[in-house]
C-alpha cells in the first residue's frame, strides 16, 4: 500500500502560484492519516517551502520518486514515468490540439491520469474546481480594463481606481476598493455618455456567480434580456446605477425549426438543431463577461463578422469582453489565445483582424487571462484544497494494478480517471480518436 504523495512546483506559467494541497491539509494528512508528503521546492508558490516544512512535509528538488503526484496545470511532456499516477487539469477532454502530444505520451507511459475537471457527483455536478475564483478575478480585471480603456477614449471614471487582481494582497482588499468605487458612483454618478452602463454574464454556474459577486459591490440592478433590448429607450435613466443581465441557454439559442420550442436537455444533446441569437444583445452591452462552458458544437456568441459590422457603423457600445471561458477561437471568436497575467489584455482590430496587446487601438478590448484563479492564489488554493482533501488518502493508497472495474477509489474520482495504466477508461474511449 502506497503512503507517499508528491506535490509538484507549477512551471507552465511564470505567475502560476497556486497549489493543489495547502500546508494545513498536508499537516493533517501526515499527522492524522499517516501519509508521507514530498513537496517540490518553489521560489514563487503562494505557500512557501518553510510553511510546508513546518507542516511536516519533506522539501525536495524533484518529486518524481513519489508514485502519486498532485499538480494544478499541465505537466511537461517528459515528466511522466511508467505506471505512476498523476492528478491535474490535463485540458485534453475536448481533443485540444496543443495537448494531444501530452495525451499520447501519457498513454505510452501507461500512466493513471485523474483530471480534476471530471470529478463529479452522481448528478454530474463538479466537486473540485477553481471556477468561482476565475469569475472573481475575471470581474476585477474586467472592471480595471474598463477604466483603462475608457481613459483611452478620454473618459475618466472611478474604475481607474481598480487595479488588476494580482496586485491586491487579498480578495478582501480588492473588494474594499471596488466597494469604494461603487459608493463613488452611487453618490456622483457616471459620465452621461456611458449611461446606461450594462454588464452581461453568460452562464449561471460557479464562474458566473464569482463574477456577479464582484459586480454586486457596485450599485447594480438586474434586468432581463428582454428588458435590456429596450433599456436605452427609457426616459431619464439615472447615471448612478449600473445594469446587469444574466443570459441562460434559451436566451442565446433557439431551435432552427421555428415550430419547435427550446428544450434544455435536447439542446445539450443536439446543439446542431439550434442557432445562435445572442448577437442581438451585443449592441446594448458595455461589458460582456463570458463565463459559460462552450465547445465547437454550440453557436458562437461573438463572431469576427459581427465585430467588423459593428465598427462599420461607428464605435459600438461594447467596450470590454472579459473572456473568462478563454477558449481560443471559441465562443468569443476574436479571442485568439489565452493571455498571461503579466500581459493580460489585447484590442482586436476589425479592419486588420489582428489583436494588438495592450489598451490602445481601434476595436474591442478583450481580457482573456488563462489562469485567472492564480491572480487570487491564496484564496483559490485554500478553496480547492478544501474540496480535494477527503479524496487524497484514497487516491494515494489505491491499488492501481487491479483492473479498472476492481479499482477501489471513491466514485467521483473514478469518474475522473481518463487513463488507467495507459488505457482509456469506458467514459473516455472517445478520446482514442484524438491521438490517431
Say which CATH superfamily domain 4-129+377-435 falls into: NAD(P)-binding Rossmann-like Domain (3.40.50.720)
Residue 117, judged by CB atoms within 10 A of its CB (0-12, 13-18, 19+), counts as middle
**Total-model pTM:** 0.88
Nearby residues of 67 by Cβ (< 8 Å), 6 or more positions away: 2, 4, 84, 85
Per-residue pLDDT, averaged over 155-177, amounts to 97
| Predicted pLDDT at 271 | 92
pLDDT tens digits, residue range 291-326?
Answer: 999 888 999 999 999 999 999 989 999 999 999 998
pLDDT at 235 over 80: no
Per-residue pLDDT, averaged over 30-55, amounts to 97
pLDDT at 428 over 80: yes
| Predicted pLDDT at 360 | 96
Per-residue pLDDT, averaged over 362-374, amounts to 95
pLDDT tens digits, residue range 82-134?
Answer: 999 999 999 999 899 899 999 999 999 999 999 999 999 999 889 998 889 99
Q: What angle do CA 360, 338, 178 make, to 5 degrees?
A: 65
pLDDT tens digits, residue range 197-225?
Answer: 999 999 999 999 999 999 999 999 999 99
Nearby residues of 298 by Cβ (< 8 Å), 6 or more positions away: 253, 271, 276, 331
Average pLDDT, the chain: 95
pLDDT at 184 over 80: yes
pLDDT at 234 over 90: no
Asked, colleague to colleague, whether 4-129+377-435 and 131-375 share their fold, the answer is yes
pLDDT tens digits, residue range 136-146?
Answer: 999 999 999 99
DSSP state of 332: B
Could you confirm whether domain 131-375 is CATH 3.30.1360.170? no
pLDDT at 270 over 90: yes
The domain ranges of the chain are: 4-129+377-435, 131-375
Amino acid at each position: 500500500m502506497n503512503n507517499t504523495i508528491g506535490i509538484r512546483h507549477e512551471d507552465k506559467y511564470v505567475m502560476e502560484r497556486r497549489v493543489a494541497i495547502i500546508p494545513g491539509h498536508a499537516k493533517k494528512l501526515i499527522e492524522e492519516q499517516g501519509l508521507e508528503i514530498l513537496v517540490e521546492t518553489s521560489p514563487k508558490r503562494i505557500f512557501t517551502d518553510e510553511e510546508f516544512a513546518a507542516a511536516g512535509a519533506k522539501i525536495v528538488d524533484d518529486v518524481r520518486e513519489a508514485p502519486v503526484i498532485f499538480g494544478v496545470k499541465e505537466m511537461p511532456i517528459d515528466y511522466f514515468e511508467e505506471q505512476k499516477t498523476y492528478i491535474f487539469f490535463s485540458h485534453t477532454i475536448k481533443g485540444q490540439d496543443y495537448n494531444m502530444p501530452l495525451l499520447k505520451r501519457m498513454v505510452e507511459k501507461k500512466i493513471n491520469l485523474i483530471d480534476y475537471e471530471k470529478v463529479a457527483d452522481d448528478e454530474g455536478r463538479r466537486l473540485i474546481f477553481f471556477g468561482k475564483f476565475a469569475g472573481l478575478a475575471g470581474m476585477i480585471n474586467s472592471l480595471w480594463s474598463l477604466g483603462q480603456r475608457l481613459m483611452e477614449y478620454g473618459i475618466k471614471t472611478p474604475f481607474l481606481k481598480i487595479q488588476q487582481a494580482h496586485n491586491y494582497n487579498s480578495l478582501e482588499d480588492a473588494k474594499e476598493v471596488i466597494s469604494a468605487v461603487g459608493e463613488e458612483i452611487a453618490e456622483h454618478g457616471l459620465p452621461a455618455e456611458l449611461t446606461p452602463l450594462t454588464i452581461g454574464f453568460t452562464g449561471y454556474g460557479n464562474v458566473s456567480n464569482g463574477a456577479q459577486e464582484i459586480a454586486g459591490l457596485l450599485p447594480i440592478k438586474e434586468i432581463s434580456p428582454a428588458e435590456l433590448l429596450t433599456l436605452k429607450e427609457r426616459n431619464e435613466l439615472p447615471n448612478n446605477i449600473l445594469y446587469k443581465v444574466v443570459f441562460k441557454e434559451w436566451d442565446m439559442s433557439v431551435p432552427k425549426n421555428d415550430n419547435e420550442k427550446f428544450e434544455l436537455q435536447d439542446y445539450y444533446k443536439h446543439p446542431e438543431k439550434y442557432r445562435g441569437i445572442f448577437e442581438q444583445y451585443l449592441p446594448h452591452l458595455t461589458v460582456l463577461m463570458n463565463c459559460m462552458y462552450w465547445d465547437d458544437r454550440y453557436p458562437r456568441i461573438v463572431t469576427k463578422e459581427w465585430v467588423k459590422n459593428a465598427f462599420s457603423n461607428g464605435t459600438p457600445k461594447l467596450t470590454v469582453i472579459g473572456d473568462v471561458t478563454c477558449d481560443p477561437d471559441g465562443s468569443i471568436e476574436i479571442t485568439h489565445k489565452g493571455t498571461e497575467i503579466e500581459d493580460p489584455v489585447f484590442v482586436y482590430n476589425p479592419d486588420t483582424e489582428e489583436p494588438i496587446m495592450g489598451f490602445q487601438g481601434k476595436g474591442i478590448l478583450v481580457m482573456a487571462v488563462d489562469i485567472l484563479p492564480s491572480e487570487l492564489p491564496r484564496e483559490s488554493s485554500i478553496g480547492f484544497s478544501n474540496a480535494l482533501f477527503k479524496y487524497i488518502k484514497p487516491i494515494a493508497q489505491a491499488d492501481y494494478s487491479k483492473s479498472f472495474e476492481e479499482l477501489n477509489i471513491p466514485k467521483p474520482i473514478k469518474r475522473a480517471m481518463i487513463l488507467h495504466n495507459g488505457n482509456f477508461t469506458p467514459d473516455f474511449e472517445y478520446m482514442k480518436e484524438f491521438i490517431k
